[in-house]
Amino acid sequence: FILPYCSIFKIYFILFFRHLLLILTSHIALLKPLHRRQYRDWKIINVCVLVPFFSSMIAKVPSEKILRAGKILRNTILSRAPHMIRDRKYHLKTYRQCCVGTELVDWMMQQSTCVHSRSQAVGMWQVLLEEGVLNHVDQEHHFQDKYLFYRFLDDEHEDAPLPTEEEKKECDEELQDTMLLLSQIGPDAHMRMILRKPPGQRSVDDLEIIYEELLHIKALSHLSTTVKRELAGVLIFESHPKAGTVLFNQGEEGTSWYIILKGSVNVVIYGKGVVCTLHEGDDFGKLALVNDAPRAASIVLREDNCHFLRVDKEDFNRILRDVEANTVRLKEHDQDVLVLEKIPAGNRVSNQGSSQPQHKYIVMSGTPEKILEHFLETMRLEATLNEATGA
């Protein structure tokens, strides 16, 4: 029983000192006057100031499944393609026992029929990087299909053992299950990687992947294709590791709109306590932006490791404010059962001098029963109006 605990302790020890070193390096860079900061200083600051990415790295300890997946992949590479993990030189500097991103993608695509594209393979390697089982040698990059160096966690220390023949056999047997696991969770990791990029650095392919994800989020189901594509360019990923974290307090100025990607939150009102709980796919924070009013409630994380999409006020006002101001929602049991958008109908004057309604309502989403009910009521009103104008 002693050896497994020693191994886990060693991994945690390496993770702790690796992040401690990065924190100290960033402090040194921040202490330099602006005119003396070099390109490398700015890159270190960029890594450490991007709070969602850096905080998730620090807060997260690799799960048992992902630790095992990393070990299986490393041992299989050492067994089948040992030349991939070796010391490499770049700009007169030697990087110990590392792999190249493009080679890792090539290798993964050759190992299993469940890997259909290079972008899928990138997402699978990103799973390991998010958990700290695979790392960029200078802690400066997400996983990329480029000539960049990455190192397995087991190779962080110089005395990393080579797999025994028995371990190689075990890893061969478990490889396909490992590939299947990573292929299932890889798309979410790939999406988080894209969303962590500053909006201005997202490629056309990145925007298309985000847009496809937005099609499945119920809080956005009533929005047009144009609006969803605009949102793909401005959405920001935000994550919080601990339950009980307060996202914002009642009475504060509204600065962002949130959509829950993972986890749940409690809506708390002073004097009433928790009034409801919101889950994956729900949104909150919109009312304060539409009405330019203080927050009507506080939002508190109900569980650990919650992920959100965030739209900041300036982008919300530019893309969504008019849409939301003209949106009518019919709710039952706190759920939207019919969402209508108000649009100009044009003014046509009847023979009697009265005008037609200035606006009409089109259905954006809803339950089949409520959509049918609205359709029949609209037909009835139009028939009545036509009779009146024709009289």
User: For residue 226, what pLDDT is reported?
Assistant: 84
| Dihedral sign (CA 89, 90, 94, 95) | negative
User: For residue 19, what pLDDT is reported?
Assistant: 62
| Beta-carbon contacts of residue 136 (< 8 Å; ≥ 6 apart) | 129, 142, 143, 148, 149, 150
Q: Does the model's pTM come out above 0.85?
A: no
Q: What is the SS3 assignment for 363?
A: strand
C-alpha dihedral (227, 228, 231, 232), degrees to nearest 10: -140
User: For residue 227, what pLDDT is reported?
Assistant: 86
pLDDT tens digits for range 169-179: 999 999 999 99
- Cross-strand pairs, 310: 236, 258
pLDDT tens digits for range 337-372: 666 765 666 544 444 445 555 656 667 667 777 677
Give the angle 209-266-230 at the CA atoms, nearest 5°.
25
CA distance 127 to 130: 5
Buried b or exposed e, range 224-260, using 16+ CB within 10 angstroms: eeeebebbbebbbbbbbeebeeebbeeeeebebbbbb
Mean pLDDT by 10 residues, the chain (391 residues): 52 63 64 53 52 43 87 94 93 91 95 90 94 89 92 87 90 93 92 90 92 90 85 92 94 94 94 93 90 92 94 88 63 68 55 55 70 72 68 51
- Cross-strand pairs, 342: 361
Domains with residue ranges and CATH for the chain:
64-196 (1.10.10.10), 204-317 (2.60.120.10), 333-344+359-384 (no CATH)
User: For residue 83, what pLDDT is reported?
Assistant: 94
Q: Give the type of residue at 40.
A: R
